[in-house]
Structures are given as structure tokens and as C-alpha cells.
Amino acid sequence: MRFSTLVRHIREGVKNVFRNGWMSFASMGSIVVSLFILGVFMLLALNVNKLADQVESQVQISVYLQLDTKQDKIDEINRIIGRIPEVKKVTFVSKEEGMRRLMESMDDSAKKALDGYENENNPLPDGFDVEVFEPQKVAYVAKQIEAINTTDADKPILGVKYGKGTVEKLFRITNAVRNIGLIIVAGLAVMAMFLISTTIKMTIIARRREIGIMKLVGATNSFIRWPFFVEGVLIGLVGSGLTSALLLYGYSRLIQSAQFDLGLMMIKFATVGEVGWFVTGTLLILGTLLGIWGSVVSVRKYLKV
């Protein structure tokens, strides 16, 4: 194909989009709606994943020992826990370390309340951080550790803590979001494709005369098809570009306004920088594919070349 011919096809495709004003607008609209919902689900899924990561890293088991547990007892318990096959890592947390962590999690005014509890006045117990290989096994491992008390007459375990239930819930939510999102998006994508193909069908019908003349004077089939292809790609590209812009703008506003509230609950949103490229890229590719698909369908169906 000559370069000037390619330029012509692109020019014609662009013209088609404008000539079909309302229909182009409608099919872009349907792309925007379907991809927007897809985008929302993507952002939701990305955030739930991030949250799951955060929680997963937090779902270590905290084991607290009786206040006056001796060093050899501590070592023994350390070994017992380490022998549980599901356990990945056991870290001893001294009461000094515990105090340091507590101070860290508080802001300056609250820290003052802890004044005087350092060093020998430290009321915290020694303990362990236990990490397991699979977050699903947390509850089981926690029970095993608690069971040490039944075999040991000293009952050295003061308490075992972990985020009961949160992990399981989170996994269920992630899966549900993913599945529901997929179904809705697939339906909407078919709708968008259908609208695009209808738009291009309109072009074809509106330009039957022109196409007839093109055929009559000896235009090749691919020459006739190209502008419709360009039209489909353009509708898809513009639609998905708009969606990405809209989605990311809305998302950044949402983060800004929700940051303070959710920050208190220790929930961190995925930042626009983290998800922007992924979301934009996916939407652009999907939108363009939808446009191509729509144009191919209608050209095959209505353009008997």
C-alpha cells in the first residue's frame, strides 16, 4: 500500500466518525460505559489484592509468653514452634522490641503516656512473631501453639493472637469481585461491540452509493474495507482513552477525599501511579480490540465486496 493511500484511509476513517456523529457518539458512549465498569472492577480488584497483601503480611501470629519465662524455656518453645511444618519463620520479640514497636505505632502525643515504662519498668511480655507459609493455615498453627500449654506444666503461653477470619473473608471477596466483574464486563463488551458494528453498518449503508461507485471503477476489496477498519479502531481508541482519563481522574479524587478516613483504619489505597499504566494500557488495548472486532463483524456482514 502506498503511504498516501494509508493517509487517505485514515482521513476517510476519521471523516466517517464525524459524519456518523450521533452513532459514533453512542458507540463511544457504550465503550466508555462498559470499559468504565471494567475499570472500576479492575481498580477494586487491584485494591483488594493490595489489601490482601497488606493483611497477609500482617497475619503473622503473635505469641506472648508469661512474664517471667526463663531463657531456656524461651529457647525450648522457640524450637517447638519451629518444628511445626507449616511454620516458615519464628522470630523472638523481646519486651524491649515490643515496646519499641508500640511507640512506633503511636503518634507523639500518645507516646507521652508511655513515658516511664521503658527499661526495667517495661510491663510487656516477651514473645514470638510466627510466620506461616500459607495464610490459610494461620488458624491451625495458632491452635498448635496454644496446645503447648496442655503438655507443659508451666503453661508458658500467655496468649496467641492473629487476625481471625479476616484472611478468609478477604480471599472470598477477591474472588467474588473478580468473577462478578468478569461476567458484567463480558456482557458489556459484547454490547459495545454490537453498537460499534451497528455504527459501522450505518456508515456502510449511508455510503452504499460511494462503495458501489468504488467497486464500479475498480477499487480492490481491501481498499474499500480499510476506512471502516480505521473507523472502528478510532472509536475504540477514543472511547477507551476517554474512559481511562475519566476513571483515573475520578480515582485520584476518591483517594484524596478518602485518604484521611481510611488512613485511620490502616487501609492504604493503591496509588494512581501504581495502577495508572496497567489500567490505561488494558483499557486502551481492549477498546481498540472491541473497535476492530465491531468493524470486522459489520464489514463482513454488510459489505459484500
Secondary structure in 3-state letters for 230-246: HHHHHHHHHHHHHHHHH
Closer residue to another protein, CB minimum distance, 18 or 260: 18
Cβ nearer to another protein, comparing 114 with 205: 205
146-164 burial, b if ≥16 CB within 10 A, otherwise e?
Answer: eebeeeeeeebbeebebbe
User: What letter does residue 20 receive in the DSSP assignment?
Assistant: T
Compute the least distance from the CB of residue 198 to another protein, in Å: 23
- What cell was used for 8? 487517505
- Main-chain phi, psi angles of 159, to 5 degrees: -170, 155
**Does residue number 177 form part of the binding site for another protein (CB under 8 A)?**
no
Smallest distance, another protein to C-beta of residue 304, A:
11
Q: At what angle do helices 166-206 and 272-302 cross, to 10 degrees?
A: 40
Tell me how far, at minimum, the Cβ of 301 lies from another protein, in Å: 17
Query: Min. distance of Cβ 302 from another protein in angstroms?
Result: 17
Nearer to another protein among residue 3 and residue 260 (C-beta): 3
Q: Does 4 bind another protein (CB under 8 A)?
A: yes
Rounded to 5°, the CA angle 173-140-132 comes to 75
Q: Binding marks (x or -) toward another protein, 192..231, rule CB under 8 A?
A: -----------------xx-xxxxxxxxxx-x--------
Q: How far is the CB of 213 from another protein (least distance, A)?
A: 6
State the minimum distance, in angstroms, from the CB of residue 225 to another protein: 12
| Contact mark string toward another protein, 7..46, x via CB under 8 A | -x--------------------------------------
The span from the CA of 281 to the CA of 260, in Å, is 29
Rounded Cα distance between 46 and 56, Å, is 15
Q: Which is nearer to another protein, 12 or 126 (CB)?
A: 12
Question: Which cell numbers hold the place of 122?
Answer: 517495661
The stretch near another protein (CB under 8 A) out of 4-12, 80-88, 185-193, 251-259 is 4-12
CB of 218 to another protein, least distance (A): 4
Q: Cα separation of 249 and 255, whole Å?
A: 10
Nearer to another protein, 96 or 210 (CB): 210
Site size toward another protein (CB under 8 A) is: 18
Least separation in angstroms between residue 224's CB and another protein is 8
Instruction: Decide if residue 2 touches another protein (CB under 8 A).
Output: yes
Cell of 32: 466508555
Cell numbers that stand for 189 in this block: 463488551
| Amino acid letter, residue 112 | K
Pick 4 or 119: Cβ nearer another protein: 4
**Cα(first)–Cα(last) distance of the chain, in Å?**
19
Give the C-alpha separation, 170 to 210, whole Å.
58
Q: Which residues would be at the binding site for another protein (CB under 8 A)?
A: 1-2, 4-5, 8, 209-210, 212-221, 223
